[in-house]
Chain A
Amino acid sequence: MSALTVSQAADYAEKNPDFIPCYPQRAFFSVVVVSILAAAAFASWLPLQVSIVTLFLFAGPHNWFELRYFLMRLPVRFGRSRNFFVTAFAGLAVLTVAYVSLPFVYNARLWSDDAWSTIIAGWNTALLFWLGLLVWLRSRQKRKAKWTWTIPAGLVLASLNWLGPDSFSLALVYIHPLIALWFLDRHLRRTRPEWLRTYRRCLCLLPLVLAVMIWQLSQTTALPDSNGLFWRITQHSGAEVLPQVSSHLLVSVHLFLEMLHYAVWIVALPLIGGVIKTVPIARHPRGFPRLVAGLLIAALAGVVVLWFGFSMNYSTTRDVYFTVAIAHVLAEAPFLLRML
C-alpha cells in the first residue's frame, strides 16, 4: 500500500473529520529526536564554548517566553484559587528576595562554613515547605487527587537537604531544566493529545542519551578553569560539590539539559501555544491589557539589557542573571501545579 501524499491526506481529512494525518507527528518526532541528539553532541563536544553562546543567546528570550506563557495561564479572576495564588506569589516574592540576598550575606563573612551550610539548608527547607503548601492547596481543589504522599516525600527531601545542602541545591540545578519537559507534556495533553504518545516515546531517548554521555565523558579530563568565567561555569555545574566526577561530564550534562529547556520554552511551547491575543487577562473585558502589554515590553527591554550586559561583562552578568533567575525557577511550580 503506497503512502498518501500531503494533498491526498488533506483531501481525505476534509471528508473524514476523525482522520488524523500522521505527517505532523512524524515531523514532530523527527524534530524532537534531532534536537535531543544535536544538543547532546554540541554539549559534549565544546561544553564551555557552547555554554557561553547558549546562555548569551537564549537565557533572556526564554524568560520572556516563559513570562508570556505564565500570563496565558493566569485566570482573570482567582475565584476559588485565591488562596493558592496568594500563597504562590507571596512565597515567590519572599523566596526570591531571600535568595538574592544570600550573596550579600555570604560576602559579609560573618558565618563559618557550617553556619553557611545551615543557611542554605534553611532556604531549601523554606522552598520545600512552600511547595508542600501549594500542593496541599491545589489538592483541596481536586477532590479526586490523592496527593497526601507528598507530605512524607517532602519531609524525606527536607531531611536529605539537611544532610547535604550543597548536593540538594545542585540537584535543583539539574532538575529545573527537566520541568520544562513536564510543562510540554501537560500542554500537549491539552492541545495536541494525539502527539502525546509520540512525545513520551521521544522522552524515552533522554535517559539513553544521558547514559551514553556519562559513559563517554566520565573518563575525560577536567575542563580548564583557569579563568573566572570557566571556573564559574564548572562550579555552577557542581565541580566543587562532586570533585570526583569529571567537570567535562558535569558541564556537558547540565548544558544538554539547559539546551532542551530553552528549546521547549522558545520553540516548542510558543509553536503549540498561540499568539499574544490568547492571554485571557489581556483580552477579557474586565482584564488588564495595558498591564500585560507593559509587562511584556518591560521584559523585552530586560532581554536587551541582558544582552548588553553579556557583551560588556559576561562573567558578572552571568552571576547576576543566575541569581535573579531563581524567580522564574520558582514561578514554574504553581503554574505546573495548576496544570496537574
Chain B
Amino acid sequence: MSGACRIGPEVAWVEDAEHDRVAVLDLDRLDQPAAVLTDTSAVIWLCVGGSSTDEEIVTQVAAAYEVNPDEIREQVLAFLGDLEQRDLIVRT
C-alpha cells in the first residue's frame, strides 16, 4: 500500500457522533447492507477524511488513543487494506 487514500467516489456515509459509529454504504453495491463501523474502526474511517497517507492516518489514530504509532500501525494498515478491498477507500 502506498500513496494517499481517500473515501471511494461511490460511497455514502454518515457519522453517529453520539454513539461513536459510522455507517458506510457502497452505492455500486446496493444489494449489500451498509457497513457499520464502531469504536476504533470508526475513528480510522474519520481519519481517512479527504485524502491522507497511511502514515498520517496511523499518526492521527495513535494521537486519538494516546499510544505510540508503532503499537497500532499493523492493525491500522490491515484495516485500511480491508476497506480498500471492499472499494470503500481508493488509493491515489
Q: Do A and B come from one complex?
A: no
Chain A residues with a Cβ under 8 A of chain B: none
Chain B residues with a Cβ under 8 A of chain A: none
